[in-house]
Amino acid sequence: MKKNDIRTFGIVGGDKRQLFLGKSISDSCCDVIMGGFDKLQSTGALTLADVKTAVLESDAVIFPLPSVRGDSSINTPFSDRTVILDKEEQSSLIHKPVFVAMKDKFLRAYPSLADARVFDYAARDEFAILNALPTAEGALECAIREYEGTISGSRCLITGFGRIGKILAKTLRALDAEVTVSARRQDDFAYISALGYKAENTSALKSVRGYDIVFNTVPALIFDRALLMNTDTNTFIIDLASLPGGVDFEAAHKFNIDAVRALSLPGKCAPKIAGQIIKTTVFTIIEEVYG
Amino acid sequence: MKKNDIRTFGIVGGDKRQLFLGKSISDSCCDVIMGGFDKLQSTGALTLADVKTAVLESDAVIFPLPSVRGDSSINTPFSDRTVILDKEEQSSLIHKPVFVAMKDKFLRAYPSLADARVFDYAARDEFAILNALPTAEGALECAIREYEGTISGSRCLITGFGRIGKILAKTLRALDAEVTVSARRQDDFAYISALGYKAENTSALKSVRGYDIVFNTVPALIFDRALLMNTDTNTFIIDLASLPGGVDFEAAHKFNIDAVRALSLPGKCAPKIAGQIIKTTVFTIIEEVYG
Amino acid sequence: MKKNDIRTFGIVGGDKRQLFLGKSISDSCCDVIMGGFDKLQSTGALTLADVKTAVLESDAVIFPLPSVRGDSSINTPFSDRTVILDKEEQSSLIHKPVFVAMKDKFLRAYPSLADARVFDYAARDEFAILNALPTAEGALECAIREYEGTISGSRCLITGFGRIGKILAKTLRALDAEVTVSARRQDDFAYISALGYKAENTSALKSVRGYDIVFNTVPALIFDRALLMNTDTNTFIIDLASLPGGVDFEAAHKFNIDAVRALSLPGKCAPKIAGQIIKTTVFTIIEEVYG
Amino acid sequence: MKKNDIRTFGIVGGDKRQLFLGKSISDSCCDVIMGGFDKLQSTGALTLADVKTAVLESDAVIFPLPSVRGDSSINTPFSDRTVILDKEEQSSLIHKPVFVAMKDKFLRAYPSLADARVFDYAARDEFAILNALPTAEGALECAIREYEGTISGSRCLITGFGRIGKILAKTLRALDAEVTVSARRQDDFAYISALGYKAENTSALKSVRGYDIVFNTVPALIFDRALLMNTDTNTFIIDLASLPGGVDFEAAHKFNIDAVRALSLPGKCAPKIAGQIIKTTVFTIIEEVYG
């Protein structure tokens, strides 16, 4: 199969992001058949069909983020039906590229596809990097909304200098916050300094004093009982780390520290960009594998 | 009276901003008596009292923004009572500095104070300039929340290059938006260019094409039926101009253009800073008049 | 005369800026005849002629910045000759728009033109504002070159919040300097704060401590003997104010404080932009008067 | 040996950077003996001595960048003598930490030190990252000085998204340039996009059109004859790549393209920071090895 053989994409399930994904593909190059959007009457130029048509009549199929639910059904928030791929659909998928998020879970639900060309777009590094931008903007939105001062002039601590930490630090600094980033590696400390932020050592974080807002990006229990006990009570904490997150919310509540969880921000704050990022990633995979 | 004679401030009515105002004064120099906050149990170190005490026992009194309602009562959202200043209170106010927002309306409600030292802090230029920062951040929050793409990379038009336009343009640019500002004066065009934005002439605005988000700051009906008819339908409009605003919302709805009104942003998004700005302005007046 | 009647511009005298001015006009709309550039062999598509041709054969004439020297000759650094406008040339100029810098001086040299349409483009507010950008970049260049640290992290004081102060503050902040601006007016203080800088009161400047680099933009002797005596010796001062400037250089030398004068930066650092700014200003005048 | 046993540092040879290094160490913690600075009369609080004293009387010795010349002599631009370490000095160095730049070359010159604790601070990743900041500022200085427009509004291409590319892109963007970065890897493309720059593929660079300034950071012959033949003639190229660099200067000259080499910028533009970076790196090594 060559990339030019892919003329029609099936998009099965998902939320607004998949609508923008469909629109973006449709605008640029290929036909798109949307399946699993029964609640919608129309979506502009996109063809709305049933799931079977979207799977059978397409050359490649894109599933949403996440792709399947706990009961093996496809994640279809725009449909009231429970969508489980039947034999015919599974057979059809074996012969075409299939793009999913969380491949392991998808294959546990549909083991017959174990030998199919199933690609996990959400596991790609560039997917996570591109999503760091809408995540950072979403975190900023949360901070403006919840924090009682302005971002300008606020003292912000970002724990972690990975993808989100890098983009978020730039965003906050651009709004004239005083930005401190905590990290663990010497090269990260050097970048933090060269980019004009202050640095702290995550490993040595025994207290959090003198910060107005803290953004946690580390997927580990950084803000445990002990650290929260040594955190200023007027500090506002936003936990951006994927579940189980990095904050002991119970302890935070007990110590009177405001803390909120902010997850899935790209889909919530910028579904259009989030959809385009899925498209970019899927097409990069196609270029690499079928180009 | 000399500025050092003002040892106790009465703060009568208002929302969270006045609480932060009280805290800020209390932290820096003077005693504070809060009146008209019956719904609150306690507010940290601040003395909660009734309105009479706050008026009579203080050396200067600060009323909220706005100060009075249509029925001449003081604007007291944190109290269920209707607070009307009685004779005794009015007599007391005649002999001390009184700080209000919208002095005309206040004096219409309390004509006995016509000869008192009543200062309108909200009418000061620096008050409006300082509030442009939380307004800009609030507008940004609204844009991140409502617009389906990211601010980074979005094409933004700001109509008007006054206080809010100046700060908002900087804010959006800092987040990597493409910023165009419309203005009318040659010196504004020059600043717009020197600051790296693109310029349009507000007077010549016959259509609005190629923008993702429009922020109106001009308090005049810029976006009337005719202009909206020539505006891209996927443009998102945020009207920041004080009432009656600058957008014909009915026409916008008819032409399928998303438009929202965003008012009183400092109080909503950053009550702490908004309170400190009232303090800064009041103290500047005191310095000028009693310094 | 209508603006469309101006088909050919004479550009008489000047440096590189006038070459870029000529190119910019020639690229956009009109013919250009350059006079007073004898040292040059060719300048791309521009017509090089003698001064007489440039004056007589054009519909409007632009003189350089400054336009005349002390001896009434035209400022022609690209010519070895002394160019004095003769009777014929003066008569010709009476009937066409003449654009000069420092009109008073020009008319003292050529009183016969007192009744001609002589416009001073350099006196326009937007001319000065537009030039603030190349001035700020030139000041930055000087600071990077001369100061022994990086701009990022340096503590900078800008005295004055006029055109140059506004743009320079933004430029330095963009490079992660800590920026303090001194001003005198309440509205300036408010803007300085809303834009995220620290503020000082120029009138109360008794000492300059804790700054690495100082940029003076105030055309008055701010840095006199008394203030320099109370300035850190490792402070580097760049005086951007037009002559006589704002620094007592003799005293600075005596107190071992590094201080330099940086003048005419647009012409030195960005002659292309400086030429385009002359064009923009001249065309704005034409639009206003003949449009 | 423990880190606290290092009480006196010998600093042997080098330029202004080593003076600031000495001052920085002396200010923070330890005694410093400077050797190989005969041309200087005094350097503030620093002890100037001969090389022998600096080597023998210290607990650790820091050599400059580069440490040795082609003739095995120490790089001592502030001395007229040729400094070759004698037997006694070499024996002394065997028993203490020795910090050099370009260890291989140093050990070829002094093979007797093969078993000594010789650390190459200039080979450390964080050393290069920290130096990217003064390098970027130096490149900016060069661009402002040499390019005839302003950086604001200029179209800049940076080839390479390594340490210098990352910091330089941020710096140019902060000054309102339009920034395009060329890279080769998908994760780099994703970061380039998330940070708001445009991307090009270095491998596919067949022509360079529509750029005002190009900064090459790739240490490979990117701008060869073929590419330069397809580069706009009014493009200004700054080659930041270490020798032999990335530009065929002869071909550039032939095609009338302005191109300059800009090397060793930290030492030239910001010797103070460059010295502090050496200190930071040396102390990080000490912490790791003797901490």
Per-residue three-class SS string for chain C: CCHHHCCEEEEECCCHHHHHHHHHHHHHCCEEEEECCCCCCCECCEEEECHHHHHHCCCEEECCCCCECCCCCECCCCCCCCCCCCHHHHHHHHCCCEEECCHHHHHHHCHHHCCCCEEEHHHCHHHHHHHHHHHHHHHHHHHHHHCCCCCCCCEEEEECCCHHHHHHHHHHHHCCCEEEEEECCHHHHHHHHHCCCEEEEHHHCCCECCCCEEEECCCCCCECHHHHHCECCCCEEEECCCCCCCECHHHHHHCCCEEEECCCHHHHHCHHHHHHHHHHHHHHHHHHHHC
To which residue do tokens 């438009």 refer?
Answer: B259
Which pLDDT band, with edges at 50, 70 and 90, does B3 fall under?
confident
What mean pLDDT do residues C29-58 have? 89
Instruction: Identify the pLDDT of residue C43.
Output: 72
In order of A4, A90, B203, the CA distances from A59 in angstroms are 10, 14, 52
> Tens of pLDDT along A6-31?
999 999 999 999 999 999 999 988 99
C-alpha D248/C-alpha D227 separation (Å) is 10
Q: How buried is residue B30: exposed, middle or buried, by Cβ count under 10 Å (0-12/13-18/19+)?
A: middle
Q: How many Å separate Cα B28 from the centre of its chain?
A: 23
Angle (CA) C85-C88-C92 rounded to 5° is 90
Instruction: Identify the pLDDT of residue A2.
Output: 87
Q: How many Å separate Cα C97 from the centre of its chain?
A: 22
Distance from CA of A163 to the nearest CA of B (A): 16
Interface contact B200, partner A, CB < 8 A: no
Distance from CA of B284 to the nearest CA of C (A): 8
Which pLDDT band, with edges at 50, 70 and 90, does A40 fall under?
confident
In order of A52, B54, B119, the CA distances from B87 in angstroms are 79, 15, 20
Task: Decide: D192 and D161 in contact? Cβ < 8 Å.
Answer: yes
Torsion of CA C273, C275, C280, C281, to 10 degrees: 120
pLDDT value at A47 more than 90? no
Cα nearest neighbour of D176 on chain B: B196
> Tens of pLDDT along A200-251?
999 999 999 999 999 999 999 999 999 999 999 999 999 999 999 999 999 9
Selecting from C167, C186, C187 the residue whose C-beta is nearest the C-beta of B194 gives: C167
Task: Decide: B95 and B105 in contact? Cβ < 8 Å.
Answer: no
Task: Decide: D31 and D8 in contact? Cβ < 8 Å.
Answer: yes
Average model confidence (pLDDT) for chain B?
95
What mean pLDDT do residues C205-215 have? 97
Instruction: Identify the pLDDT of residue B1.
Output: 79
What mean pLDDT do residues A65-85 have? 94
> Tens of pLDDT along B236-258?
999 999 999 999 999 999 999 99
Complex ipTM value: 0.94
Which pLDDT band, with edges at 50, 70 and 90, does C42 fall under?
confident
3-state SS class at A166:
helix
Instruction: Identify the pLDDT of residue B28.
Output: 86
Question: Whose CA is closest to B248, among B233, B267, B226?
Answer: B226
In order of D30, D100, D263, the CA distances from D120 in angstroms are 21, 5, 20
C-alpha B62/C-alpha B282 separation (Å) is 8
Residues of D with Cβ-Cβ distance to C272 under 8 angstroms: 148-149
pLDDT value at B45 more than 80? no
Residues of A with Cβ-Cβ distance to C194 under 8 angstroms: 152
For A60-97, the DSSP string reads EEE--SS-B-TTS-B--TT-SS-----HHHHHHHHTS-
Distance from CA of C187 to the nearest CA of B (A): 5
Residue B19's φ and ψ, nearest 5 degrees, are -65, -45
Residues of A with Cβ-Cβ distance to D190 under 8 angstroms: 125-127, 129-130
pLDDT value at D134 more than 90? yes
Six-digit token string for D177: 């340039």
Could C166 and B125 be called an inter-chain contact, meaning their C-beta atoms sit closer than 8 Å?
Answer: no
Interface contact D176, partner B, CB < 8 A: yes
Instruction: Identify the pLDDT of residue A28.
Output: 86
Interface contact A153, partner C, CB < 8 A: yes
What mean pLDDT do residues D141-151 have? 97
> Tens of pLDDT along A169-193?
999 999 999 999 999 999 999 999 9
Instruction: Identify the pLDDT of residue B200.
Output: 97
Six-digit token string for A135: 């995540």
Cβ neighbours of residue D266 closer than 8 Å, sequence gap 6 or more: D17, D131, D134, D135, D138, D273, D274, D277
Task: Decide: C252 and C230 in contact? Cβ < 8 Å.
Answer: no
Instruction: Identify the pLDDT of residue C86.
Output: 95
pLDDT value at C291 more than 90? no
Over pLDDT 90: what percentage of chain C?
Answer: 93
C-alpha D51/C-alpha A48 separation (Å) is 82
In order of A35, A89, C31, the CA distances from A19 in angstroms are 11, 22, 54
pLDDT value at C95 more than 80? yes
pLDDT value at B44 more than 80? no
What mean pLDDT do residues C31-58 have? 90
Six-digit token string for C16: 């590189």
Six-digit token string for B12: 């009568």
pLDDT value at D291 more than 90? no
- Angle between helix axes B125-146 and C186-194 (nearest 10 degrees) is 20
C-alpha B149/C-alpha B88 separation (Å) is 57
> Tens of pLDDT along B112-142?
999 999 999 999 999 999 999 999 999 999 9
Instruction: Identify the pLDDT of residue C161.
Output: 98
3-state SS class at D66:
coil
Task: Decide: C271 and C16 in contact? Cβ < 8 Å.
Answer: yes
Over pLDDT 70: what percentage of chain B?
Answer: 100
Average model confidence (pLDDT) for chain A?
95
What mean pLDDT do residues A101-119 have? 96
pLDDT value at B42 more than 90? no
Any idea which of A1-5, B163-167, B247-251, C112-116 has the lowest mean pLDDT? A1-5
Over pLDDT 70: what percentage of chain D?
Answer: 100
Interface contact C203, partner B, CB < 8 A: no
pLDDT value at C222 more than 90? yes
What mean pLDDT do residues D66-78 have? 94
Could A194 and D133 be called an inter-chain contact, meaning their C-beta atoms sit closer than 8 Å?
Answer: yes
Give first-to-last CA distance, chain B, whole Å: 9
Could B176 and D196 be called an inter-chain contact, meaning their C-beta atoms sit closer than 8 Å?
Answer: yes
Q: Is the bond preceding residue A77 a cis peptide, omega within 30 degrees?
A: no
Residues of B with Cβ-Cβ distance to D195 under 8 angstroms: 176
Interface contact C130, partner B, CB < 8 A: yes
C-alpha torsion sign, points C162, C164, C169, C171: positive
Which pLDDT band, with edges at 50, 70 and 90, does A60 fall under?
very high
Instruction: Identify the pLDDT of residue C41.
Output: 80
pLDDT value at B231 more than 80? yes
Q: How buried is residue B135: exposed, middle or buried, by Cβ count under 10 Å (0-12/13-18/19+)?
A: buried
Instruction: Identify the pLDDT of residue C217.
Output: 98
Alpha helices in chain A (DSSP H): 16-28, 51-56, 87-94, 103-109, 125-146, 163-174, 186-194, 225-229, 249-254, 265-269, 271-290
C-alpha B12/C-alpha A185 separation (Å) is 53
Interface contact B152, partner D, CB < 8 A: yes
In order of A35, A44, C139, the CA distances from A61 in angstroms are 10, 20, 57
Which pLDDT band, with edges at 50, 70 and 90, does D45 fall under?
confident
What mean pLDDT do residues D77-100 have? 95
Distance from CA of C190 to the nearest CA of A (A): 14
What mean pLDDT do residues B96-118 have? 96
pLDDT value at B43 more than 90? no
Which pLDDT band, with edges at 50, 70 and 90, does B29 fall under?
confident
Partner C, chain B 51-80, Cβ-Cβ below 8 Å = none
What mean pLDDT do residues D11-23 have? 95
Interface contact D111, partner C, CB < 8 A: no
C-alpha D258/C-alpha D238 separation (Å) is 9
Instruction: Identify the pLDDT of residue D42.
Output: 74
Contacts 24+ apart (CB under 8 A), A163-166: A163/A128, A163/A129, A163/A131, A163/A132, A163/D194, A164/A132, A164/A135, A164/A136, A164/A139, A164/A217, A164/A240, A165/A217, A166/A132, A166/D191
pLDDT value at B223 more than 90? yes
